Structure 1
Amino acid sequence: MSDGQVMRGRLLVAAPGLREPTFHRTVILLLDHSATGAVGVVLNRPSPVDVAAVLPEWHSHVADPPALFVGGPVGEDTAMGVAVLLPGARPSPDLDALTGPFGLVNLDAAPEAVAGQVRGVRVFVGFAGWGEEQLEGEIAERSWFVVDAEPADLLTREPEQLWRRVLRRQGGDLAIVSTYAEDASLN
């Protein structure tokens, strides 16, 4: 699916009308997209749990804030390490390049095994998933804006500001959308 290749590594930004609490005002990095579905992680939902409580060896290797992030409602019993790769990073059993600057880190590995190949790591509990044609339908009904991702989106120190910041940098109508009130009925 050619569109899947274009979507992988891009962001889904929730439209203001998407009121479902799990995805309201989320920014999702698409890790995979194909004819059979899509998988991504929510970048702007830090949990109150510090990485040190679950993966103490990774605590000093994750980006600030060092919290576990709620990646989505699927697979909430597993953790996933997503990284921004340094130029020239080589795939290995501990590091899997996805697309562009993004990759997956094996959290069972020693952090030192990948530290020299990544600019930063974020740990997610759970992920967002869509079945065949489901995401395309949600995009067609204008629930999501699809925009380019930047490495700083994954590693932001201010995840609570990410939704507005990503929309604002798009310019035009999407920059205006970034100013919408939390309750869209007030606009």
Structure 2
Amino acid sequence: MLSLVKPSKGRLLISEPFMNDPNFRRSVILLTEHGELGTVGFVLNHPTNLLLKDLIPELTSAEFKVFNGGPVELDTIHFIHRCYDKLHSGEEIAEGIYWGGNFEALKILIANGDLSENEVKFFIGYSGWGEEQLDTEIKENTWIVSDKYQPDVLFSTDEEEAWREVIVNLGPRYAHVSKFPENPNLN
């Protein structure tokens, strides 16, 4: 499955259906940086058992799910959002989608109940690739790169459905892949 779309900020990486690496099995990754020095992104569909209030105790009512953004720096918290009108900060990585921003202002918005899970998504850790590493993995058919997705998929909390949806959005050439079982021995 050779990817025809090149990786860049705001695009999605979709793992091939039988990837064995548990960090990236059936993963959908939003790329937030891609350049000569490497690539950074966040796994959108691997939830942890944590809620934001577990990581930031002063946010006692923060029932936001926290996702495993990837295997790098698991002691860090990151977020994407689509509420620039409320937060007034963040780096735009796709139309209307932002990475990071003023965390203190974000905490106030959460404490006041002014944000919902369909506006902001939290991650511990991130996914990272060194210079040319991702390009090599794409050539080895480990990843498909996509720029065809609905913004709602970025904020989905349904792990398996998010992966299936982005595969189907790739078009008829890939749609059959969405029905592959996670374990090929069950086929």
User: Is TM more than 0.5 here?
Assistant: yes
Contact 1:80 1:123 in 2 (8 A): yes
Q: CA deviation at 1:24?
A: 1.1
Q: CA deviation at 1:56?
A: 5.1
Contact 2:32 2:99 in 1 (8 A): no
- Distance in 2 of aligned mates of 1:110 and 1:167: 35
Higher mean alpha-carbon deviation, 94-103 vs 128-137, is at: 94-103
- The number of residues matched between the two structures is 177
Q: Which amino acid aligns with 2:179?
A: T
Mark the runs of 5 or more structure 1 residues left unpaired by the alignment. none
- Distance in 2 of aligned mates of 1:135 and 1:60: 38
Q: 1:69 matched to which residue of 2?
A: 67
Q: 2:90 matched to which residue of 1?
A: 95
- Distance in 2 of aligned mates of 1:33 and 1:71: 16
Change (3 A) 1:91 1:156: closer
Counterparts of residues 150-161 of structure 1 (less than 5 Å): 150-161=150-161
Cα offsets for 1:132-183 (capped at 9, x unmatched): 0000001011100111243112211323311111111222121111011111
TM-score normalised over the length of structure 2: 0.81
The answer as to 2:138 corresponding to 1:143 is: no
- Distance in 1 of aligned mates of 2:60 and 2:157: 15
The secondary structure found in structure 1 opposite 2:34 is: strand
Q: Which amino acid aligns with 1:145?
A: I
Q: 2:25 matched to which residue of 1?
A: 24
- Distance in 2 of aligned mates of 1:80 and 1:127: 8
Contact 1:39 1:130 in 2 (8 A): yes
Higher mean alpha-carbon deviation, 127-136 vs 49-58, is at: 49-58
Q: 2:50 matched to which residue of 1?
A: 49
Mark the runs of 5 or more structure 2 residues left unpaired by the alignment. none
Cα offsets for 1:39-84 (capped at 9, x unmatched): 00000011111111123566767xxx82111000001000001112
Q: 1:122 matched to which residue of 2?
A: 121
The secondary structure found in structure 2 opposite 1:153 is: helix
The secondary structure found in structure 2 opposite 1:40 is: strand
Change (3 A) 1:8 1:21: same
Percent of aligned positions that are identical: 34
